[in-house]
Structure 1
Amino acid sequence: MRTYWLQNALIKSPTRLYYFLLLFIASLSPCAAHAQSVSVNINLTDKPLSAFIQSIELQTDFKFFYEQQQVDVQQHITVNVQNVSINAALEQALKNTNITYTISEKRILLIQKQNSTSLQSDKMVEIKGQVTDKNGIPVIGANILVKGSNLGCITDIDGNYSLKVPAKSTIVVSYIGYTTQEVTLKGNNFQRIIMEEDSKMLDDVVVVGYGTVKKRDLTGSVSSVKGDDLSLNGVSSIGHALEGKAAGLYIRQNSAQPGGGLDILVRGAGSVNASNDPLYIVDGFPIAKLDQASGGDAKMDPGTQGILNFLNPNDVESIEVLKDASATSIYGARAANGVVIITTKRGKEGKARISYSYNYSFQKYTDNYDLLSLQEWMIEKNNTTWEHWLWTNNVSPWGNRTLEEAQANPVNGIDYSRPYQDSDIKNAGPGTDWLGLITRDGQIHEHNINLQGGSESTQYMVSFNYYNHQGIVKNSGMTRYTAKANIDQKFLNIFKAGLNLTLTRIDNDNTQLGSGKFENSGIIRSAIQMGPNIQAYDKETDTYPINPLLGQQPNPYSLLNNTDKGRTDRLLGNIFIEATPLSGLTLRVNAGLDHANIDRKTYQPRSTLNGKNLNGVAYIYNTANNQYLMEATATYQRTFNDIHNVNLLAGTSYEKFNYDASELGNNNFITDAFLWNNMDAGTGTKITKSTSTENKMMSYFFRAGYILKNRYLLTATLRADGASVFAKNNKWGYFPSVAAGWTLSEEDFMKNINWLSNLKLRLSWGQTGNADISTNAFASYGAQGSWINSEYKTISGVMKSRLENPDLKWETTTEWNLGLDFGFLKSRITGSVELYQRVISDLLNYKPLNSYQEVKQIILKSATKLFSVLLASK
């Protein structure tokens, strides 16, 4: 029975969800037009009122709300009606009871009848006002009721109300999630009422795998962050905004490019060669990580890209980080490193609302390297050469000679000579400021437009975002265009369909980061090491000098002449349809596609060191990623006898991953003007490469949850995954978990501790897997060229580059987690203490062989034990 008691009604904080209402609990009119148009058939003889409520909810999409202390749903009634309106059925069912009702939208409120005859003789006055929260945001659907009567109304979309009431009466203002207030009317007929949140009524919903759960009913370790709590100004990725917001989440920038990648680790790293990245779920779709191709040119490494760059951070409604195995095992083979679930904003019932925001951010390079000026460098050079001369001549402490002996008889007859005299140092000037030449003040411009609205059956959210970041390193930047649409449609009372669609284009201007030292140095490393004595650009020779002491390390100023353009076009979309044929039973089918095409084009002109050596170097890379998802789930939730709550989930999913990549390169161009646009103009060694892979995964999963008396919690999960990346003997992996919780604050012996809002003890155990390894790791073939004669001609052939290991199996992560959740002072102070152990067994690694390049093997295991404390206030 989908019946909600007011004191236990589940909502999200209205201050965070401005329009979305779970219920209107009062109305001026005792009937609504829609209720008149819906017909029901009921045949009950001497049955409890609860049976009548259940019958209405099964036949319609109306829901009942009532105070358990005031409305006795166990009293027996008799109703025999055929093809009548809901109003008519209610009138007959309640005619011999002390219960009346009001209808608002599809919500039926049952309340006790009150004696209102005294009101008829009182003088009536009109009152007006507005109901808001503490932040001034209107509270929509708040119940305004004259105390001791049924006279009342609800606030409109702006929180306003207007009502004729007896003079000197008292009005009662209530709304789920807020403390009820009584206001006595005074001379001023305009009453502004500010509602205060009721921490006991607020029961946040947390998104978990394939569903939601009340935060108080969690048995796993989950950190939840609402979109309103994130600082979004100027961030390219929602990952940046998560820093410091979720306990157990480690975030570090790993690339200097604008929009560069982040290391996001949940409770640290454990795997040796498999990925340590968590699994990311966006609106129910597990997304892939996309990077620009680096190709075979280490000098032009573009760095990594943030996995969440394609999302507009302003679209995010909430983020949940699933940390322990009890929470993550529902995702099985890819959840060993935790799961990050991102839910985007959806449409809201009400008139269309459009919002626009603009953000400008300014970036300055403040944590600068303390590099030597030319004068300081010359002094240090003198000191260095002096120390070197002493060392060469075995002067103490490097030898047993005195300074006088060395000066009288120097080694090789070479006297010490200062490279720079005092006059040289005095007149030297500051020298070359390499970091100043290659950096600038960064700027970020962001425009965001959002449209939300909808009717009772159709809700929509559409947004557009433009983000432009000019990086601190010159010629680096990122521009993103994002369009998003979320649409929900209800029909035929039991069906709901939805669309989630995100379209993104990202244009990258990459700077040369490099991937090593000397000739592979990037622009930052070269700028730090080059030295202030080297000229940035020689106008006379039209060249960019290099430091002869640093081998082939490039001149950093010349690297600004490189051209490196990247473009990523991505479409992430999924559609779903839900059916609720029975009360508490939800059937859902979800299908989706994550398509991405990544192009990258680079050119190194002859003004750079590498370009000069090869007379210009051009590369074109193209990568296509396609991920397909088909998923079906069945969820059943029901409460028996008001004390037994059961939640069951069963489902299956099928995923396919396609990856295609190609690379084209050439050098020795007659001019730099063509860039990469005329590859045939190069007369060097052409590079042509391509690859294609396909992987598949089939999964079955089940979860059962049981709650007794809102205080004893038990959850069990099992998932089976079959993946094509593993060898034939171990295609399938099985990942169980079990968790228990005890809400001590619900026990009678804790009820009198007023300052304690929540106290819950939980314990969990579970296993997850790591299937994020190289494609077809059990065997690999490739083309190999070999020299065959003294003329250096080659012939290509096919060889086995990696030997098969038929016993190769999953990396398995086993976790224990003991946690204590607490809340004090009406949950103004909340937190948790957790102790957990993580053991990763069957770690995967490559073993070099003589006859084959390598073989995938299982090596040792790793273990992690950690203790964490979280404390928050609001």
Structure 2
Amino acid sequence: MTKRYNYSFFILLCCLLVSSLTYAQQINYVKGKVIDKKDKQPIIGASVVIVDKDKRVIKGVSTDIDGNYTLPVADKTYRISVSYIGYRSSAPINIDKAIINFQLEPSENQMDEVQIVSRAKTNNGSGMTIDKRDQTSATVTIDAKELEDLQSASIDQALQGRMAGVDITASTGDPGAPMQIRIRGTSSINGATDPLIVLDGMPYDITIPSDFNFATSDENNYGQLLNIAPSDIKEISVLKDAAATAVWGSRAANGVLIITTKRGSIGPPAISYNFKGSYSKQPSPIPMLDGNQYSSLVLEEYYNAGRQFSTSEFAKQFQYDPNDPYNYYNYSNNTDWLSAITRVGYLQDHNLSISGGGEKARYRASVNYFNQTGTTIGTDLNRVSARVNLDYMVSNRIRFSSDISYTHIDQNGLFTQNVRDVAYTKMPNQSIYEYDEYGNLTSNFFSPAATAQGSFFYNFDNKRVTGTFNPLAMASAGSNHQLGERITPKFSLQYEILPSVLRLNGSFMVNINNTKVKTFLPQIATGRPYTESVVNTASDADGDSFTMNTSMTLAYTPKLNDKHDIIGFLRFDSEDSRRTGQYLFSTNTASSYLSDPSVDSRTNYTGSATSSLGQTRSVGLLANVQYKFLDRYIINGSIRGDGNSRFGAANRYGIFPSVSGRWRISGEPFMKKANKYVDDFSLRASYGKSGNVPRNDYSYFNIYQNYGFSYLDNAGVYSTNMELTDLRWETVTQSNLGITLNLFKNLNIDFDLYRKRTTDLFYPGLQVASYNGYGGVDMNVGTMDNQGWEVNLNATVIKKKKIRLDLSFNLAHNENVIREVSPLYPRENKAKVTSNNVYKVFVQENNPFGSFYGFKFKGVYPDKNSTVALDENGNQIVGPNGDKIYMRFAYPSIDYVFQPGDAMYEDINHDGNIDYKDIVYLGNGNPKLTGGFGSNLTINGNLRLGFNFTFRTGYDIINGTKINTTNMYGFNNQSTAVLRRWKKEGDVTDMPRAMYGAGYNFLGSDRYIEDGSFLRLSSVVLRYDFAKTFMKRLGMKSLTTNLTVQNILTFTKYTGQDPEVPIKLNGSNTVIDNSTTPPIKTITFGLTANF
């Protein structure tokens, strides 16, 4: 068998060798020189290509510094041609000799033609491109070349602060975490809030079933843009007003993010390799107490609470007795837990692409490998993606395109999101690794079943971790492993029914996505005994989605005359999205090495197996017409009808019209003299409506569920939700007024005013009478406004032969207000005002969505006299017997009397009692101003220095980390801020006394609400392009290197680790700092080589 194999292999090798020699004998070479016909000088970089009889480019090169070229010729029927910008292209000629020289003639007409072709276009994603001068709506576009030197896992990370009215914040600093994108504020309370993503003309978003359980994972793990390699993107456009988003109908109520990928162009194969390598670290953390300071604080807490610490069962953890070596060594440390779970992050990003084509076919193929190690132990991301874009001209009228992309994501996250929160508060005298009874350090994590701080607890209902644990053990041993596979084939066919007049374009796309999340919590991460059900907890979640999108567009672009111009198109869209999910959960597996939930468990078993499915179907029909008269007056009108399966039959379809216009004032005769310096001066206006759909698939059905208990072995069935047949479209009505001013061919200004009103808001949990059997229903009741303005400025300050300086600036203001609230809506959360660390969340008219309410903090009572209650006139309040009344809390239900050293809260109604009547509005997390500015300095055309700043101002953060690290209420470690705490009467400070398990010193108040405003130096880029003449000698077209630093400086008054805190996605829209991984500082080296 082996001999036969070797013999066959030898014959195959000989055949290949003979064929190669035969092919080599057929190859001839043609060479020559390309010069300017007028001055006879060589033309450097002219494109010389060999084409076949169908004008397909077979091979091509660029002329060298002397204008010379050499090309192999494998077929006598091939022809050769030359082209160069600014010269008339030579027609293809036969290759009938070995030396062929060319003389190109300069062409002013061709230069004008190139300028016309390169005029800025805007893209609404539908396949129709419109001259930016004729744009009537609010749209902004950015070239991905401006972002290519930045290190980012997804393109939205690089867009921060670069587009007016587009507010982008990081959900966390962990690898793969998505960005939160808000275009012109939050438009919905319980519907979708993120913009629609459109990739190459088709929707790209994925909807997960509303009842799918991703175990301990949360929304921070799923970034849809992570599936698109930034190096494959050509440009990004954002559609902001209703006139711009009308093309995309119901899902575009929150704006649209249009992404266009790179495609092949005419020319020989071009190979490009790009590499980025990064080093990253976190900003400085909050300084915490060391072991000695912490121990002193605990003793003081006990003393102030009137307790005897020596009688505590955990007293040994603070006695530091050398005669008890086990407790002495394990609890006599100065452990910096946050540093223990923090590390330096590294990143490598490789991208390889090849592109080219001829008159008939053009192609681009790329592959990307991205690997990032997070700055928090236990987090990393690996991504492999590939994309092939092909365009083929079947004939002069028919064009076929296919785009196929594939992404594989392997992501590791933390089992629980509160690891860093626990690291801040973990008792610093505890050792990371365990000492044995002889005082010898072992390699085992020290995870006792219980400490003075308490023990680990896991809620099986909501799959959330509370209590305490060894943070490094949790980060290292606990796992949250996500695997994602996504393949997206798309096919398009374009037919010119009447060339340049009537065109039909059809597209079909399939989006197949699988997400698998496995979690495991071994015993060592919890410290609990092996017999408990929380030990060796395992889960396996599998979500699959299959989405089919179709679109058909009929475009009408007749050529009328110089005075009239019209563009019109009809578009039909359909989508069928089907999702399934399976979830398996079990506890107490037989070993820490058995992490699959299907493994048989031991005695204390808790488990569940659930599945879910969902289907959403939608259709849309759009008619759009744009008319231009005298190149000055432009009007655009559209009407779209949408249908969606998430509504009942009575309200399944919605009609959404829009109208917009543009008056180019600079084209008027009276502006003729000003046109020397005014390139464009236009007024824009638009008005339109768009719709939003509910989050849930089957709200209009009565859904039934098995009851958890049975009678006579028969399980009951009950209805889980009320049938909502009258649920209507959530409608967003938007008006926009804009000004465009372009001056001196180097200054561009856009200014927009807008108002966006959302009516028929989807409200969750509206209260109904209890006899109905439901706790609440979802209904359309409520109105919310977003209004504001945006300004965008770009200028070329210096434009000389060897130096160029470009500046950019954008600024946006948005104001969010709740205008109407249903009387049935529960105006507040159910949190008790009688508890510490609680803020009320109201949905209240005339206040922003996301507002929070609480008490006003006035400082600390320095002595006994300061605790006397005063009336509104400043007089002492006395009791029936003439006795002084001291300030109290929650009288008569609790009746706590404030003491010296306690926190002081404002008595709003001057009744001497701090209770719910003293709760006031404290702030909200919606920024008043967002934006950014930057500069690019280019020297000699090959050296560039650029920087970019981003900023957000006027928003409030509930500093949850500060609450946990300054309350001095238990055994949690505290920040060094508590060193200025009140200790004796007469002390004047803003830090209350330490008191174990008593008092109300950290009620939800403005003490913990801070201004999150910041100015961040988001990027500094130094880039150098090596001389092309030198690189050609090395066989390369170009070589570019760059050094980039990101997030290196942040200017803020916020006392947390970083002020960029995302909106909490739980329906409250609040901004709470819960110690998640902050945005990281990075230094990146980049290299791009083109062949």
TM over 0.5: yes
Match 1:535 to one of 418, 431, 434? 431
User: What is the RMSD of the two structures over their aligned residues, measured on CA atoms?
Assistant: 3.9
| Residue of structure 2 equivalent to 1:838 | 756
Distance 1:297-1:455 versus aligned 2 partners, 3 A rule? closer
Distance change (3 Å), C-alpha of 1:289 and 1:430: farther
Q: Where does residue 405 of structure 1 map in the other structure?
A: none
1:413 alignment counterpart:
none
3-state secondary structure, aligned to 1:303? helix
Residue of 541, 549, 560 corresponding to 2:453: 549
In 2, the alpha carbon distance for the partners of 1:36 and 1:497 equals 20
In the alignment, which residue of structure 2 is the partner of 1:96?
none
- Structure with more relative contact order (C-alpha pairs < 8 Å, separation 6 or more): 2
Q: Tell me the CA shift for residue 216 of structure 1.
A: 0.7
Pairwise mapping of residues 707-856 of structure 1 onto structure 2 (< 5 A)?
707-753=628-674, 754-788=676-710, 796-826=715-745, 828-846=746-764, 847-849=766-768, 850=770, 851-856=773-778
Report how far residue 328 of structure 1 moved. 0.6
Q: How does 1:347-746 map to 2 (within 5 A)?
A: 347-378=264-295, 380-381=297-298, 384=301, 431-514=334-417, 522-540=418-436, 543-545=446-448, 547-549=451-453, 552=456, 553-555=467-469, 556-559=471-474, 560-583=476-499, 584-609=501-526, 612=529, 613-614=532-533, 615-676=535-596, 678-681=598-601, 684-746=605-667
Which residue of structure 2 lines up, in the alignment, with residue 254 of structure 1?
Answer: 171
Deviation string 1:503-555 (CA, Å, 9 cap, x unpaired) is 000001111343xxxxxxx2111111213123323243854145533554232
Q: Equivalent residue of 2:482, what SS?
A: strand
Question: Is the CA contact (8 Å cut-off) linking 2:186 and 2:786 kept in structure 1?
Answer: no
TM-score (norm 2): 0.58
User: How far does the alpha carbon of each residue in 1:780-825 deviate from its partner, in whole angstroms, 9 at most, with x for none?
Assistant: 4142333357xxx985443321111221110000001000011122
SS of match in other structure, 2:248: helix
Distance 2:709 2:345 in 1: 51
Measure the CA separation in 1 of the matches of 2:345 and 2:209: 22
Name the structure 2 match of 1:190.
none
Aligned to 2:882: none
Partners of 2:117 and 2:645 lie apart in 1 by: 48
Deviates more, 1:863-872 or 1:454-463: 863-872
Contact kept, 8 Å, 2:209 with 2:614, in 1: the verdict is: no
Q: How big is the shift at 1:369?
A: 2.4
User: SS in structure 1 opposite 2:623?
Assistant: strand
Contact 1:292 1:304 in 2 (8 A): no
Cα distance in 2 between the residues matched to 1:265 and 1:33: 47
Following superposition, the deviation at residue 854 of structure 1 comes to 3.7
* Match 1:326 to one of 230, 237, 243: 243
Q: 1:616 to 1:645 in 2, by over 3 A?
A: same
Question: What's the CA shift string for 1:584-606, capped at 9, x where partnerless?
Answer: 21101111111101111111111
TM-superposed deviation, 1:740 = 0.8
- Given residue 558 of structure 1, which amino acid in structure 2 is its aligned partner? A
Q: Unaligned 5+ residue runs, structure 2?
A: 1-36, 41-47, 59-64, 69-81, 94-99, 309-314, 323-328, 438-443, 457-466, 796-805, 807-1091
Could you report, residue by residue, the CA deviation over 1:612-646 in whole angstroms, capped at 9, with x for unpaired residues?
Answer: 54231111111001111121110011231212110
The Cα offsets for residues 467-516 of structure 1, whole Å up to 9 and x where unpaired, read as 001111112111000010000010221100100111000001111343xx
Distance 1:230 1:782, change over 3 A: farther
For residues 693 and 293 of structure 1, what CA distance do their matches in structure 2 show?
8
Whether the 8 Å CA contact 2:709–2:715 is kept in 1: the answer is no
Alpha-carbon distance between aligned partners in 2 of 1:299 and 1:33, rounded to the nearest angstrom: 58
The verdict on how the C-alpha distance between 1:270 and 1:155 changes in structure 2, with shifts beyond 3 A counting, is: farther
Residue 865 (structure 1) aligns with: 787
Aligned-residue offset at 1:293: 11
Does the 8 A contact of 2:415 with 2:479 survive in 1?
A: no
Q: 1:458 to 1:756 in 2, by over 3 A?
A: same
Distance 1:610 1:837, change over 3 A: farther
- Residue 667 of structure 1 and its aligned partner are, at CA, apart by 1.5
Distance 1:550 1:633 in 2: 64
Which structure 1 residue ranges, 5 or more long, are not aligned?
1-25, 39-60, 62-103, 106-126, 131-138, 146-151, 180-197, 393-409, 411-416, 515-521
Match of 1:208 in 2: 124
Normalising by structure 1, report the TM-score.
Answer: 0.72
Alpha-carbon distance change, 513 to 665 in structure 1, aligned in 2, over 3 angstroms: closer
Could you tell me which residue of structure 2 aligns to residue 519 of structure 1? none
Take 1:37 and 1:627, find their aligned partners in 2: how far apart are those partners? 41
How far the C-alpha of 1:316 sits from its partner, in A, is 0.3
Question: Does structure 1 retain, via aligned residues, the 8 Å contact 2:578–2:616?
Answer: yes
Deviations 1:399-419 (Å, cap 9, x if unpaired)? xxxxxxxxxxx9xxxxxx9x9
1:607 is paired with a residue of what secondary structure?
Answer: helix
Q: Secondary structure at the match of 2:119?
A: coil
CA distance in 1, matches of 2:447, 2:204: 44
| Partner Cα distance (1:276, 1:723) in 2 | 18
SS in 2 for 1:679: coil
Cα distance in structure 1, aligned partners of 2:298 and 2:687: 62
Q: Does the Cα contact within 8 Å between 1:589 and 1:631 map onto a contact in 2?
A: yes
* Alignment partners' CA distance in 2, 1:475 and 1:844: 38
Listed one character per residue, the Cα deviations across residues 652-702 of structure 1 (whole Å, up to 9, x for unaligned) are: 122101010001121222211121175234552331100111111111111
State the Cα distance separating 1:372 from its structure 2 match: 2.3
2:257 is the alignment partner of 1:314 = no
**Corresponding residue for residue 916 of structure 2:** none
C-alpha contact 1:292 1:305 (8 A) present in aligned 2:
no
Are the counterparts in 2 of residues 279 and 339 from structure 1 also a CA contact under 8 Å?
Answer: yes
Structure 1 range deviating more: 554-563 or 471-480: 554-563
- Report how far residue 234 of structure 1 moved: 2.7
Deviation at 1:290, TM superposition (A): 6.5
Distance 1:289 1:820, change over 3 A: same
SS in 1 for 2:559: strand
Specify the code of the residue in structure 2 equivalent to 1:271: S
Change (3 A) 1:698 1:484: same
Q: The residue matched to 2:133 in structure 1 has which SS? A: helix
